[in-house]
Structure 1
Amino acid sequence: MKIARFHVGTGPTRLGLVDGDTITDISDVPGVGTSLRAILPVLDSLRDAILTAGGERHPLDAVVLEAPVDDPQKYLGIGMNYREHAEEARQAGIPIPTSQLWFNKQVSCIVGPRDDIHKPAVSDELDYEVELAVVIGRRCRHVAPADARSVIAGYLVANDVSVRDWLMKRSPTFTLGKSFDTHGPLGPWLTTDDEVADPLALRMRLTVNGEVRQDWTTDDMIYDIYEQIAYLTQVMTLMPGDVIATGTPSGIGAPTGRFLNVGDVVRAEIDGLGALENRVVAEP
């Protein structure tokens, strides 16, 4: 299933089932409502009712898509988790870690798949990172790598927008440089795990104004998504709706200084999962 949060015009947020170029409102299905995070633990039991829902249908291009999960308890990202990206980060002055390197993106950074990205007034080093994002489906702790897929609800496309000088100089813990408002586009919808044959064999691309900047596959991860979940759950309980950004491939702007500017349009896409398309605007 592909489940989106959306609204029509100035109407309220609804949940919808995406099928091709249409979306069917499923919010009135008993037990569904309007919060995707809330139904994740029982999503399997609602599947038949969702798939046969008779709600109002809309063309996708007639609705406003929102972030599929806008209220996770946690939004975690792993740094330098693709082999060639780790090398380009090293060239930009970031040492290659010897273990998994994790940071928080504060959840207030999350925006929808078509929303604007703000270029901060305090920096000219605005960068992009296409990433496969994993959404946790059930409360879990001490998960073995072999069991990790069982706790995944599904997948999103993420753009881990980064303010490089705040990462490297002003707050080198990464968290602030990763957490500016609007710097967490997610979407366009949740693709449930059963629809993805192998999340470690997906092609991802990112373009800026139509120019390809990143084009890679998820099989180049240093630590795969199952190892990531196992590592994190040694430390903390993961909750339904928690988002894990699993790393970006090579091609970021930092090594060459090709940062984002006002007016740029950034498109991040992953085969089978959809695409984000966000315009860069000046911070209000």
Structure 2
Amino acid sequence: MKRRSIVILAMWVLALATGWVHAEDLVLFSAAQAGADIWIWGKARVKASGGALLVTERNPEADYGDAHVADRFPYFAGGRVELDVAETTGRYTLQALAFRGEDYLESIDLARDTDVTGVQSFNLAQQTFPAETDHLMFKLWVGGGEAAQATVNDLRYVLPIAEGSLLLDKRFDTATGAEPDHARWVPGPDGGTMTLSGDQEYGSVLLPDVIRKPRQGLILMDAVVSNGTVTAQLVMFDSNRDYIESKDAIERAGSGFSTARLDTMVWPANAAHFQLKLWLAGNPDCSARIRRIVVVDQP
């Protein structure tokens, strides 16, 4: 699955990691919300149990087993991982697996061979990740006995952001007023699905949200793309909402999280607002399910 690299705003991440700004949390992943189906079983099984996740060792050759989250997430040095374990009959390890694109780099133990219960918090800035890391995957190990179990209330990956700097957070589970052009757009519980009309090889959907120009900022898009690519374009306006020009932010993205810095773009001097236009390109049967788009400013 194609993953795009992310470029981090170094001073922003440093500010967040050291507490220079008052922050709120942008939740990039919550196991409690995602449910059991997002886990890939290794030698452990993950099933829903009374509002929690029950992770059970199922290794016939040893007394430990693992399961990992199917998705990968952008690596932010200022990010934080939170693990809430209700109870355990053995011991567990939580790992963050570092990737550069599709290449696995290293596994970092956040919690190692422990039976601690309650909420634990791990600041990524305090871990030693390879410098080239751009994405993370999360893996849980359980062990210490046959059929050892850990009951997990939640596993969250959050990015602290400056208070009031979240400009957009869309999941497209309901009608949005989007304007398709040579494309079809269908919102749903798992995101908005975009397909092409007729024999078109590209089409677009203009999202209705008018967003103020950020001072710095990032755009993040989480998508599942088949037989094509998705480009997120900024349609720029002046303070009177008169159109100026359009610029690509995220270009030709595949499946997974894609990101772009907005402060390094060359903005027209009179740009004050923008809308997002999504372009789908590929063969006529290509599709894209846009699960989430986030735009963050950093005052």
Hey, which of these two has a bigger chunk of strand by percent? 2
TM bracket, shorter-chain basis? under 0.3
Q: Which protein has the larger Cα radius of gyration, Structure 1 or Structure 2?
A: 2
Taking structure 2 as the reference length, what is the TM-score of the superposition?
0.25
Hey, which of these two has a bigger chunk of helix by percent? 1
